[in-house]
Structure 1
Amino acid sequence: MMSLLGMTTSAAAVTEKPKKSQAKGFVEEMRFVAMKLHTKDQAKEGQKEPQGQPVAKWDPTIEGYLKFLVDSKLVYNTLDIIVEKAAFPSYAEFRNTGLERSKGLGKDLEWFKEQGHVIPEPSSPGINYAQYLEELSEKDPQAFICHFYNTYFAHTAGGRMIGRKILNGKELEFYKWDGDLSSLLQNIREKLNKVAESWTREQKNHCLEETVKSFKFSGDILSLILS
């Protein structure tokens, strides 16, 4: 199953790539590993063969999409709580970045409710991922940062197409940011690079190895769209 990270197209993936004038740092290593896990038709760095139907050809339902939004909100709420609590001081660097999605998702779900739709309770994919993030954040900061990076950067690069297809072009708050998105992303890149400066090479490699799990969890949530 394609992950949310795999929803980016080649063009969208480029928006995540830092400009040549910018210091790449460890974030570029994370980006490179994530791009390799894309299929060849999603990103030029992709190394996996395409499997299943392209996202553009999916025929999702509003019910499935609502499940996806509800579970996504649980994950983003969890990330907000983790960085606010800051079990490790480095997490505090990622408070109020402008990329937070919980508030926007709350507005979107309220809008769906006003349209007469029943908002479901969170399901296993979202619950499992949220629990994993909570446990990971308490004991393994390098692995947690991997999930933080992939969750936020993947969402900024792709995902709008499914919502637009279901809602006849309506743009949800989930896909809107206050301020210039490129500047917000660059600010996060700098913070991530700063945090990683104190890591050993072994810790950096450990962070990169967690990328596969981040794809797996996001893929489980994305699959709810077709449920």
Structure 2
Amino acid sequence: MVVTVAEERTSKRYTGGFVDEMRSVAMKLHTKDQAKDGEKETQGKPWRKWEPTIDGYLKFLVDSKLVYDTLDTILDKADFPEYAEFRNTGLERAGNLAIDLEWFKEQGHIVPEPLSPGINYSIYIEELSKKDPQAFICHFYNTYFAHTAGGRMIGRKVAAKILNGKELEFYKWDGDLPQLLQNVREKLNRVAENWTREEKNHCLEETEKSFEFNGDILHLIMA
């Protein structure tokens, strides 16, 4: 008997609600150098051996801000009622990024316009949010939660290499971050309780696209 991925997910027991399923699928898409539970082989240089540049990092920050601005706009409009659950969670990043980009300007750097990775991702999630809430929630989860984990590690490495160790506002949160994350996990689980198993599987299947889009933006650091 052939067991599909969706059926395999359905048969597993998750103790932390649907968010545990989302995390499990996301961890499998990490490369082995990104996370101990990663299953994919690393293509190209492991991130620990990246050689970032100021210009590349600025491109990454600008494109990231565009995506976070887009997420904020989607949640404010709330084409689907459940989106309103995720307003003002404390995980928002656009305002912090605006402060960082202003700091770079003060140091004499030219802040570029957004490039295709950020533009393409913003267009994609904007269109997705209007018709497919389960898939959109997948992107919301992966974008915000990845930044609090691997994103922070990469941020520290970049700061040590090209910013004399300066910690950007992008990597700071008001309040206790673990508690902020737990609050959002609980909201995600409550929203997902109203989904069918098919809708949950559909959400999980969007994870790979989220990784692809976010990966394209992340690689701007080396541009």
Whether these two folds match at TM > 0.5 is yes
Match of 2:41 in 1: 49
Larger Rg: 1 or 2? 2
Tell me which amino acid in the other structure corresponds to 1:219: G
Bigger relative contact order, structure 1 or 2, given CA contacts below 8 A and separation 6+?
1
> Does the residue aligned with 1:158 lie in a helix, a strand or coil?
helix
1:84·1:95 contact (CA, 8 Å) conserved in 2? yes
Match of 1:184 in 2: 180
Take 2:160 and 2:128, find their aligned partners in 1: how far apart are those partners?
Answer: 34
Number of residue-to-residue matches in the alignment: 206
Take 1:115 and 1:81, find their aligned partners in 2: how far apart are those partners?
Answer: 30
Higher mean C-alpha deviation, range 128-137 or range 46-55? 46-55
> Are 2:218 and 1:218 aligned?
no
Of 102, 105, 127, which residue of structure 1 is paired with 2:94? 102
> Are 2:147 and 1:147 aligned?
no
Tell me which amino acid in the other structure corresponds to 1:39: T
Take 2:37 and 2:148, find their aligned partners in 1: how far apart are those partners?
Answer: 18
Tell me which amino acid in the other structure corresponds to 1:98: G
Tell me which amino acid in the other structure corresponds to 2:112: P
Instruction: Please report how far the alpha carbon of residue 198 of structure 1 lies from its aligned counterpart in structure 2 after TM superposition.
Output: 0.3
Match of 2:59 in 1: 67
1:55·1:162 contact (CA, 8 Å) conserved in 2? no
Take 1:42 and 1:223, find their aligned partners in 2: how far apart are those partners?
Answer: 14
CA RMSD of aligned residues (A): 1.2
2:62·2:112 contact (CA, 8 Å) conserved in 1? yes
Q: Deviations over 1:96-136 (max 9, x none)?
A: 00000000000000000000000000010000000001000
Take 2:160 and 2:127, find their aligned partners in 1: how far apart are those partners?
Answer: 34
Unmatched 5+ stretches in structure 2: 1-14
Match of 2:9 in 1: none
